[in-house]
Chains A and B, each alone.
Chain A
């Protein structure tokens, strides 16, 4: 020791330097093992093993990646318009974005849940929430298209959504913002929050065969903020668990005012009991207005219908539905392990992770082991529901998924890491840094009875220095870890669209082979379909001009259209009469204050065009379809209002020059 005494100050200096260095973000070289590249390499022409469905956050859409490569396969438009393929622009898809507030071109899409049968992913549909104007969507996984969107009355900030029950009986949707109910006057002083504001949880039923959604009933709850939720399973079948914060019922500066209480709640909901009350007619019929939009694959057309009534169950009056379980410091994630026995609450401001036992919760309810009530709902004693606490897991625990081998992995937002711990002994097994500030995470089937514990994908909130800089707005990103061993190994960073929140992943074979390749032209029931060039036509009805046209490699029929006049509304009804995979055609016309159409084989789509000037307007196919794609074009002539030019249309006919059609 003496010998190096003189060296101590130097060592301290080195340690300090190292310490400072340790505060800087580590680079990838520090944490990636040498075989990472081969583990994520999917050779050209080969398929990925998993689909990864990732919420698009403020893009409003859902993205689909292949794993382990992290290759982006598709962006499915759900809650935002998508000029790229005409979603929200074509006449057929506009009704999908209708709400009680009218047509809304954007939303904020946070969470996804794949449909399940017996607690396992069945690969039929995926459900998506819209946060801002509360809605839930169902996406069909044979077409990767939005099939249905339902709006939620009495709601605001639809955050704890769209989580599903074990057999997809219900999709739930809980309000983040409590608000005055829709049938009450909302024009009240803000400081009457505690009296006038209510939280609502919707139970949306899902038809077993068709997937069709309907709001079965709503639970009226105290005016807290509902954050996230997950269904029970196995022994906890019939129960649902919601995290709640702002039990202070603050309406301003929530950052401070909703962080005062030492414990907020996990709300346990006996939905089977609620269903019984509903079926027994215990609910109150409330007048509301909400949109229900359905896309019909046969007519290739969406319809929007307004509904005017919802059944509300008052959880204060109807006992045995809701129970509060104290949970430290503003819980965020609320996750149920594969056995259904353990419920993990993640207090985002807590220095521990509480794990609750379903068995103990049931015993506490039976013994009325309550510490009182909150707005008339019993509050179970913390210790009586608690299985145990994970001590010092890290800072800012947010979300937990399960590997199916008895372990849980939790994201730590503040300390930028993921932590793997054992559910039984609550000991920490491993922790790995993430870059940076992870929000959600996803293990394939990680919220079901049967997780596939090969990978965890972590969705980060900050990427800072991880990618080439692109100005002030940087790439959003995910990170893929191998979790097959005790140590989690970082394999790959990949950028995502919008801001990724919750995601789902599933073995590709469950979905891949069911993919629709084209729509059968014989089954096209669109009233505007042209089944063969012989049926194409241009029809004037007042100032409305309907153009029934076909698209096939490599011409548009008709491709010469005359007789359109200023003041007309022109509807191009484009039918792609190809009958093979991967042959979409596009359709666009100069000057249209609209998007393009991207028409799949066998489909009919309609573009509305209101000409703004007299002249000649070229239109063409926008999707490079063949060697003669550049020849796939046509002209529409627009004449002044009151012109005597008759409607005429043709393809392949060189009309003789005539005075009546010449410009003067």
Chain B
């Protein structure tokens, strides 16, 4: 997957382009030419519950993995807490209370690690962008970080 450039400073233009049905306003310059992302409609295998990214099946235990949640808590403090509260209150992005019941583990982890692609094509991500109007930054979490953050969200949602 070609890594996308975030043109964060013109996020509003991207939003505008999205609202006009454009989906190619955020692809990178390249000597081989821009690649047009396939739209969800044009890709029947696209699973809106899973989103797009490397996570196709995440094993989630019945009880909390405290060590993973601890990792996630640390990542949250550095990379997420500026924009997401642990309550239902929206700050820059939505509050995290109940997030694990709104989205699957795969969707959350794909959104966190494959942010730009998801923002450009995933209907749920786009709906959130219309509310928040700030493109979620890709904070470059490792796979383990992303998994930890999900576990931390589960903890926040009351999983013991």
Taking Cβ atoms with an 8 Å cutoff, the residues of A that contact B are: 45-47, 518, 520-522, 531-535, 550, 552-555, 557, 577-583, 623-629, 652
Contacts and interface: CB of A to CB of B under 8 A. Distances in A.
A444 to B, nearest CB: 17
A624 B11 CA distance: 9
18 contacts: A521-B79, A532-B78, A532-B81, A552-B137, A553-B137, A555-B82, A577-B82, A579-B79, A580-B140, A581-B6, A582-B9, A583-B8, A583-B9, A626-B11, A626-B12, A627-B12, A627-B134, A652-B91
Given A534-B81, A577-B79, A578-B137, A553 B6 contact: no
A522 B15 CA distance: 31
A533 B11 contact: no
Given A553-B137, A626-B135, A533 B8 contact: no
A557 B92 CA distance: 13
A534 B86 CA distance: 14
A555 B84 CA distance: 13
Given A577-B82, A580-B137, A627-B12, A46 B29 contact: yes
Contacts of A626: 8-9, 11-12, 133-135
Instruction: Specify which of B9, B12, B91, B115 lies most central, judged by the most chain A CB atoms within 10 Å of its CB.
Output: B9
A552 B8 CA distance: 11
A652 B134 CA distance: 18
B23 to A, nearest CB: 15
A580 B11 contact: no
Nearest to A651: B82
A21 B9 CA distance: 52
Interface string B21-49: 00000000111011000000000000000
A583 B137 contact: yes
B118 to A, nearest CB: 14
Nearest to B145: A522
**Taking chain A's interface residues, is the majority helix, strand, or loop, or is none over half, making it mixed?**
loop
A580 B7 CA distance: 10
A650 to B, nearest CB: 14
B20 interface: no
A532 B135 CA distance: 19
Interface string B82-97: 1100000001100000
The 9 lowest CB-CB distance pairs between A and B, nearest first, are: A627-B12, A532-B78, A579-B140, A532-B77, A579-B139, A552-B82, A583-B8, A580-B138, A627-B133
Contacts of A535: 77
B5 interface: yes
Given A46-B29, A553-B8, A629-B9, A580 B139 contact: yes
Interface residues of B, number: 30
Contacts of B82: 532-533, 550, 552, 555, 557, 577
A222 to B, nearest CB: 51
Interface in B27-80: 29-31, 33-34, 77-79
B9 A533 contact: no
A499 B91 CA distance: 49
Contacts of B77: 531-532, 534-535
Contacts of A521: 78-79
Nearest to B10: A624
A477 B152 CA distance: 58
A579 B139 CA distance: 4
Contacts of B29: 45-47
Contacts of A583: 6, 8-9, 137
B6 A582 contact: yes
Nearest to A601: B137
Interface of B: 5-12, 15, 29-31, 33-34, 77-79, 81-83, 91-92, 115, 133-135, 137-140
A73 to B, nearest CB: 12
Nearest to A627: B12
A48 to B, nearest CB: 9
Contact of B78 (A531, A580, A624): A531
A537 to B, nearest CB: 14
B160 to A, nearest CB: 25
Contacts of B78: 521-522, 531-532, 577
Contacts of A623: 9
A153 B91 CA distance: 56
A334 B127 CA distance: 64
Contacts of B31: 46-47
B30 to A, nearest CB: 7
A47 B82 CA distance: 35
A473 to B, nearest CB: 32
A400 to B, nearest CB: 32
A578 B79 CA distance: 7
Contacts of B7: 582
Contacts of B15: 627
Contacts of A554: 92, 134
Contacts of A550: 82
Contacts of B139: 578-580
Contact of A553 (B33, B34, B81, B92): B92
Instruction: Specify which of B29, B78, B115 lies most central, judged by the most chain A CB atoms within 10 Å of its CB.
Output: B78
Given A552-B83, A623-B9, A652-B91, A579 B137 contact: yes
Given A532-B82, A552-B82, 5 more contacts: A552-B83, A578-B137, A582-B6, A583-B137, A626-B11
Contact of B11 (A45, A47, A578, A627): A627
Instruction: Specify which of B82, B92, B115, B135 lies most central, judged by the most chain A CB atoms within 10 Å of its CB.
Output: B82
Nearest to A584: B9
A518 B91 contact: no
Contacts of B135: 553, 626
B19 to A, nearest CB: 12
B112 to A, nearest CB: 11
A628 B133 contact: yes
Contacts of B33: 46
B8 A582 contact: yes
A555 B92 contact: yes
B5 A624 contact: no
Contacts of A46: 29-31, 33
A359 B6 CA distance: 56
B64 to A, nearest CB: 22
A533 B81 contact: yes
Contact of A628 (B34, B79, B134): B134
A414 B6 CA distance: 49
Contacts of B11: 553, 626-627
Contact of B79 (A518, A532, A557): A532
A554 to B, nearest CB: 6
A572 B25 CA distance: 36
A45 B139 CA distance: 25
Instruction: Specify which of A45, A581, A627 lies most central, judged by the most chain B CB atoms within 10 Å of its CB.
Output: A627
Contacts of A518: 140
Contacts of A531: 77-78
A577 B11 CA distance: 18
Contact of A579 (B92, B134, B138): B138
Contacts of B8: 553, 578, 580, 582-583, 625-626
